[in-house]
């Protein structure tokens, strides 16, 4: 009897007593730190946490696919290493792709430049600073042929991140393959084609939501009929996470998008099993390690359940969620940039432990510039090492059955389902987007996270904690950063465009464009008509323009939020002191310090601009958020009309080298050069002095503490007000 008592298994109560003793005065409930996504996390998980979980003890390759969509997962075949890349010209990108394929990359992922995304040819006046700056410039099928020259498209799968100008790009890809001897039914790959998320976060839309959804349906219909190996859409949560969405928001809004696309395809006449097996997804992987793993498992669980509940498919593959993932760009920091190598490795591990089908790993220098060849190689090798050296591929779903992981999977799925029901109650995601609900929720989450980082509630090593004042590892000035000669690329593209138009049969081209316009007015398949136009050498801009005449070009309505950032700082002495200084300025000057926050060129990534506008507004600035896609001339004119003290330019895609000087020149011509101009975002340190010499007053990189920058900007405004130099 004594032995039985002595060997009694410790109970949860025994653990609680021991833990309480070890903590002394600290409450046990305070053990887990605050979860970045607001999830309820306990300090200890046990077998009891698995009770009632219906997804527990499932098997890979079988619904609900929590443990993976394939029965053998990585033991049979590792995930695909699919690095996202595009370098200015088709020729340069082609050389990079061939080099990567020879070095072990297993598929291609094309990054297009911003003019291409927005359906402009490289000679359009609105894209002067953007051509080739953030990806490869594609103006026609001839560029597409150069992009894939010598690459066997019947053997290499190609992913294309394209949404707005999806018709001319997909058409050009099909024609380029055709003219290299590869039929459409031999092509494998994925088209992003997720236009709904563009209206929420990324903003590379062209047409309004309704015609945009029609285009998506036409592409799904065409590929279902002629391209059985091609994924016609990659429903993307990645850009939501990058814009600040929580894990629950990313899950819910992505899957709600998926439901909307399925409904749209069915309404166009397809049966669910005709296309659903070829749907794919795209999620971001951030630094909250276990949450990101559970998020991918919850996505597969929820999608299987939702497809069964809404559409009752007969083919089990129609309920299977397959996903590409990418490590986070927003988690990368400009200070101590080598820390980003560690961050990317951790995020990559979360992606593969979550069961991704393909993965892109970001380069460590992307908070400073576009990735260099060296940093891109290092990013790719991160995946090769994970595949070849760690043993991760030896066991299917190695974290399956973990008390914590399974519980977290269930919690994420449950909370995401609640949010999906909210979207459905609005009439589905198209209606929710029109209401602005997803965009505002994500924007609030972004502002909250930024405030928590600025206050030090969320640690960012090298930014708000463990910042090195001496013996620093931040040697960003010495990094071999990629430099793109935007002017040279644009000139080359314009020459190619002129040659194309000179050599083509213009009558046949105009006829094909007229047929496309007529097809848009009626109900013909727009991808089929775009392919005909591409064969006739119509350009990306011409195809876009033909459709724009029918559908119009969409302009978003700016809705800003307030109170979220400031609420985190409630009672904070430093924050209250800044507010008091701003109030004092307002009293003495008769108006609040004012700022126009603007994005120049075709860059639609507006997370930073919106967070700045929200945070500075909460501090006491009068902030005007300019419409997207401003030219330097338009931005200068708006700033003069609003009589602002400061123009704050948010830039991510190397446009600062062309567009900021143009803005400064415009202000000078308008005799408004006393207006302060500051820049924020991804600007290589070697470019800083040039911008200062031109008249930029301050430059703030990723990771800047916003209250501190606000204090500095207020001082600049004061000095300017009394005639000093800012």
Task: Give the pLDDT confidence of 509-558 residue by residue, as tens digits.
Answer: 999 999 999 999 998 999 999 999 999 999 999 999 999 999 999 988 77
Percent of the chain with pLDDT over 70: 96
The set of residues, in sequence order, having a beta carbon less than 8 Å from that of 477 and lying 6+ positions away, is: 685, 686
Which pLDDT score, from 0 to 100, does residue 483 have? 67
- Backbone φ and ψ for 593, nearest 5 degrees, come out as -60, 135
Percent of the chain with pLDDT over 90: 71
- The yes-or-no verdict on residue 703 having pLDDT over 90 is no
DSSP tag of 201:
I
Average pLDDT value over all residues in the chain? 91
Q: How far apart are CA 158 and CA 662, in angstroms?
A: 37
- The yes-or-no verdict on residue 171 having pLDDT over 90 is yes
DSSP 113-176: PHHHHTT--TT-GGGTTTTTTSSB---SHHHHHHHTTT--TTTS-EEE--STTHHHHHHHHHHH
DSSP tag of 626:
P
Q: E strands along 411-468, which residues?
A: none
pLDDT tens digit string along 421-447? 999 999 999 999 988 899 999 999 999
Q: Which of 348-352, 364-368, 503-507, 511-515 shows the lowest mean pLDDT across its residues?
A: 364-368
Q: Which residues pair with 647 in a beta bridge?
A: 596, 677
Q: Which of 135-139, 140-144, 161-165, 370-374 shows the lowest mean pLDDT across its residues?
A: 370-374
Q: What is the CA radius of gyration of the chain?
A: 26
Q: Which of 350-359, 381-390, 512-521, 556-565 shows the lowest mean pLDDT across its residues?
A: 556-565
Residue numbers annotated as active site: 84, 238-239, 599, 603, 605
Give the alpha-carbon dihedral of 374, 160, 98, 603, to 10 degrees: -40
Six token digits for residue 104: 């072990």
**474: pLDDT confidence band, cut at 50, 70 and 90?**
very low
- Backbone φ and ψ for 543, nearest 5 degrees, come out as -65, -45
pLDDT tens digit string along 33-87? 777 788 889 889 999 999 989 888 899 999 999 999 999 999 999 999 988 777 7
DSSP 526-565: HHHHHHHHHHTT--HHHHHHHHHHHH----PPP----SHH
* CA-based nearest residue to 644, from 583, 598, 593, 711: 593
Q: Which fold has domain 73-435+468-478?
A: TIM Barrel (3.20.20)
Q: How far apart are CA 560 and CA 554, in angstroms?
A: 19
**685: pLDDT confidence band, cut at 50, 70 and 90?**
confident
* CA-based nearest residue to 235, from 271, 215, 217, 261: 261
- The yes-or-no verdict on residue 4 having pLDDT over 60 is no
- The yes-or-no verdict on residue 471 having pLDDT over 60 is no
Q: How far apart are CA 86 and CA 97, in angstroms?
A: 9
**574: pLDDT confidence band, cut at 50, 70 and 90?**
confident
pLDDT tens digit string along 387-418? 999 999 999 999 999 999 999 999 999 999 99
pLDDT tens digit string along 603-652? 888 888 899 999 999 999 999 999 999 999 999 999 999 999 999 998 87
Which pLDDT score, from 0 to 100, does residue 464 have? 86
Six token digits for residue 607: 């997370």
Taking residues 129-139, report their average pLDDT: 90
**According to the CATH classification, is domain 564-721 in 3.40.50.410?**
no
Strands 594-598 and 84-85: unpaired
Domain ranges, ordered by start, for the chain:
73-435+468-478, 564-721
Q: Where are the alpha helices (DSSP H) in 470-539?
A: 486-503, 506-521, 526-535
Residues 53 and 407 sit within 8 Å (Cβ to Cβ):
yes
Helix (H, G, I), strand (E, B) or coil at 283: strand
């Amino acid at each position: 009897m004594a032995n039985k008592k002595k060997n009694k298994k410790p109970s949860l109560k025994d653990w609680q007593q021991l833990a309480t003793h070890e903590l002394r005065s600290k409450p046990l409930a305070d053990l887990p730190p605050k979860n970045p996504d607001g999830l309820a996390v306990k300090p200890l998980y046990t077998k009891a946490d698995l009770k009632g979980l219906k997804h527990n003890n499932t098997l890979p390759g079988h619904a609900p696919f929590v443990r993976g969509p394939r029965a053998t997962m990585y033991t049979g075949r590792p995930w695909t290493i699919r690095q996202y890349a595009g370098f200015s010209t088709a020729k340069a990108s082609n050389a990079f792709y061939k080099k990567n394929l020879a070095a072990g990359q297993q598929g291609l992922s094309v990054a297009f430049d911003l003019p291409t995304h927005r359906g402009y040819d490289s000679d359009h006046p609105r894209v002067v600073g953007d051509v080739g700056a953030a990806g490869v410039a594609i103006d026609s099928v001839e560029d597409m042929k150069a992009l894939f020259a010598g690459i066997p498209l019947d053997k290499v799968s190609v992913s294309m991140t394209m949404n707005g100008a999806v018709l001319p790009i997909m058409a050009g890809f099909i024609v380029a393959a055709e003219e290299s001897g590869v039929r459409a039914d031999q092509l494998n790959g994925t088209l992003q084609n997720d236009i709904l998320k563009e209206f929420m976060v990324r903003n590379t839309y062209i047409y309004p939501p309704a015609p945009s959804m029609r285009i998506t349906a036409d592409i799904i219909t065409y590929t279902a009929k002629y391209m059985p190996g091609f994924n016609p859409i990659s429903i993307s949560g990645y850009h939501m996470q990058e814009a600040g969405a929580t894990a629950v928001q990313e899950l819910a809004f992505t899957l709600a998008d998926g439901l909307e696309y399925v409904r749209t395809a069915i309404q166009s006449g397809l049966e669910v099993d005709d296309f659903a097996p070829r749907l794919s997804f795209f999620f971001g992987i951030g630094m909250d390690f276990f949450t990101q793993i559970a998020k991918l498992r919850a996505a597969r669980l929820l999608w299987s359940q939702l497809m069964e509940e809404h559409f009752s498919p007969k083919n089990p593959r129609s309920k299977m969620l397959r996903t590409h993932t990418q490590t986070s760009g927003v988690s990368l920091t400009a200070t101590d940039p080598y820390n980003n190598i560690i961050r990317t490795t951790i995020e990559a591990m979360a992606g593969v432990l979550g069961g991704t089908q393909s993965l892109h790993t970001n380069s460590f220098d992307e908070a400073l510039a576009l990735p260099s060849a060296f940093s891109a190689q290092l990013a790719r090798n991160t995946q090769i090492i994970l595949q070849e050296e760690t043993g991760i591929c030896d066991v299917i779903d190695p974290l399956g059955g973990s008390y914590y992981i399974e519980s977290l999977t269930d919690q994420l799925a449950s909370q995401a389902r609640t949010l999906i029901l909210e979207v459905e109650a609005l009439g589905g995601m198209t209606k929710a987007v029109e209401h602005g609900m997803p965009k505002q929720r994500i924007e609030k989450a972004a502002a909250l996270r930024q405030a928590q980082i600025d206050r030090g509630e969320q640690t960012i090593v090298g930014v708000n904690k463990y910042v090195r004042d001496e013996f620093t590892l931040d040697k960003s000035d010495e990094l071999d950063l990629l430099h793109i000669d935007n002017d040279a690329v644009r000139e080359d593209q314009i020459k190619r465009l002129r040659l194309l138009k000179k050599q083509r049969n213009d009558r046949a081209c105009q006829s094909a464009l007229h047929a496309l316009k007529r097809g848009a007015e009626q109900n013909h398949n727009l991808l089929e008509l775009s392919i005909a136009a591409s064969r006739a050498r119509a350009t990306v801009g011409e195809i876009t323009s033909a459709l724009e005449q029918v559908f119009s070009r969409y302009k978003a309505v700016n809705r800003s939020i307030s109170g979220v950032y400031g609420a985190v700082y409630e009672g904070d002495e430093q924050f209250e002191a800044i507010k008091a200084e701003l109030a004092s300025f307002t009293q003495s000057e008769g108006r609040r310090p004012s700022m126009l926050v603007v994005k120049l060129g075709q860059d639609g990534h507006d997370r930073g601009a919106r967070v700045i506008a929200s945070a500075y507004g909460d501090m006491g600035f009068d902030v005007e958020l300019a419409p997207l896609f401003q030219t330097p001339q338009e931005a200068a004119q708006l700033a003069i009309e609003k009589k602002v003290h400061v123009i704050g330019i948010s830039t991510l895609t190397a446009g600062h080298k062309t567009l900021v000087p143009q803005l400064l020149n415009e202000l000078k011509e308008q005799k408004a050069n006393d207006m302060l101009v500051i820049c924020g975002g991804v600007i290589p340190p070697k470019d800083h002095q040039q911008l200062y010499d031109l008249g930029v007053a301050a430059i703030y990189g990723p990771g800047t503490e916003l209250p501190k920058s606000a204090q500095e900007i207020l001082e600049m405004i004061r000095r300017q007000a009394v005639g000093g130099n800012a």
